[in-house]
Amino acid sequence: MNATTYTARAHTNIALIKYWGKKNEELILPMNSSLSLTLDRFYTETSVTFDERLKEDLFLLDNSKKNSIKVSKFLDIVRQKAAISIKAKVVSQNHVPSTAGLASSASAYAALALAASKAAGLDLNKKELSRLARRGSGSACRSIYGGLVEWQEGNDDQTSFAYPIKIPTDFEVTMVALVISTDYKKISSRAGMKRVVETSPYYSAWIQNTAEDLNNIKQAILERDFETFGEISEENAMKMHALNMSAHPHFSYFEPDTIKAMQIVEKLRSQGISCYYTLDAGPNLKVICLKKDVQVITDFLSDSFGQEKVFVAGPGPAAHLI
């Protein structure tokens, strides 16, 4: 086999209807379907070369050698599909401003799935790529596509994958990311969601309610109803964080400045600006708004937190080879 290098670029995505819990940890099958927006601003580029001369997999992230256990486990899935046993060199670069705290496993595994499958001689279609990316990190299956994306939970490896949702052309949804901290997570997403599934007394309500949120947000997109779209997103995020506070032992990703930023968004909203927040497994706030309101929102957040903490991103493209 020729040691050909393939390089892929995949963009991060932010969930508006959150994935928070697995029904199968090995296959990474989620407890509920989710919906996200792929962002243009933040992405990962990854090159993969399968090389007969290598004795073990090699993984470089942002120019430094990293432990490759998780990456090797993922490459094993690719090797099995391609019926090869050759080790690989993986070189990955996160294109996220170092202060942004928005590097994600979603863009990482989407880029790795595309580059590694190609380098192994596979020619997977998008559905197969989404299923493969999911095996690295659940949210990565959504970063195979651009714009708004739904991940259908499915009930086995074949049926759990993402697909794009058409964005009406006059629905100019944008995100303003506010960085509150770039520290490592107190509890990883993987551990946090597992604890919630196992201990939150509200988990069954979440499952039922999130299915309704997903249907309602898709209807809002169809109707170009931005207010309902934002309201559902914000409420779904708060329900996810309420699960964390109801777990045993309980935990929260909020920092004091997270609450302060939420109140600023709520104040802007009371003044007639359509803006809503969402948060993932960390204290950083993402404000969902329309393109026309980006300036006023960034001005307000910059005044309170500093211009260097505020990043604007629009809908981004699908994962692609470069």
Q: Which of residues 116-155 bind ligand 2P0 (CB under 6 A)?
A: 137-139
- Rounded least distance, CB 138 to ligand 2P0, Å: 3
**Number of residues engaging ligand 2P0 in binding (CB under 6 A):** 14
Q: Judged by CB under 6 A, which stretch of 17-25, 47-55, 69-77, 171-179 contacts ligand 2P0?
A: 17-25
Residue 34 C-beta: closest distance to ligand 2P0, Å: 5
Report yes or no: 115 and 48 within 8 Å, Cβ to Cβ.
yes
Select from 280, 287, 298, 312 the one that contacts ligand 2P0 (CB under 6 A): 280
Neighbours of 178 (CB within 10 A): 25
Output 234 or 293, the one with its CB closest to ligand 2P0. Answer: 234
Binders of ligand 2P0 in range 181-220 (CB under 6 A): 189-190
- The least distance separating ligand 2P0 from the CB of residue 209, rounded to whole angstroms, comes to 15
What region does 30 belong to: left with phi over 0, alpha with psi -120 to 50, or beta?
Answer: beta
Query: Alpha helix (H) ranges present in the chain?
Result: 69-82, 105-119, 126-136, 189-199, 203-222, 226-245, 256-270, 294-305
Q: Which of 6, 10, 12, 19 binds ligand 2P0 (CB under 6 A)?
A: 19
Q: Which stretch binds ligand 2P0 (CB under 6 A): 16-24, 113-121, 162-170, 171-179?
A: 16-24
Q: Which is nearer to ligand 2P0, 16 or 176 (CB)?
A: 16
* Contact flag: residue 284 with ligand 2P0 (CB under 6 A): no
Of the candidates 133, 165, 125, 138, the one whose C-alpha atom is nearest the C-alpha of residue 38 is 165
What DSSP line would sit under 226-245, residue for residue? HHHHHHHHHHHHHHHHHHHH
Single-letter amino acid, residue 271? Q
CA distance 315 to 60: 28
CA distances from 47 to 10, 128, 185 (A): 12, 20, 27
Q: Which residues contact ligand 2P0 by CB under 6 A?
A: 15, 18-20, 28, 34, 105, 137-139, 189-190, 280-281
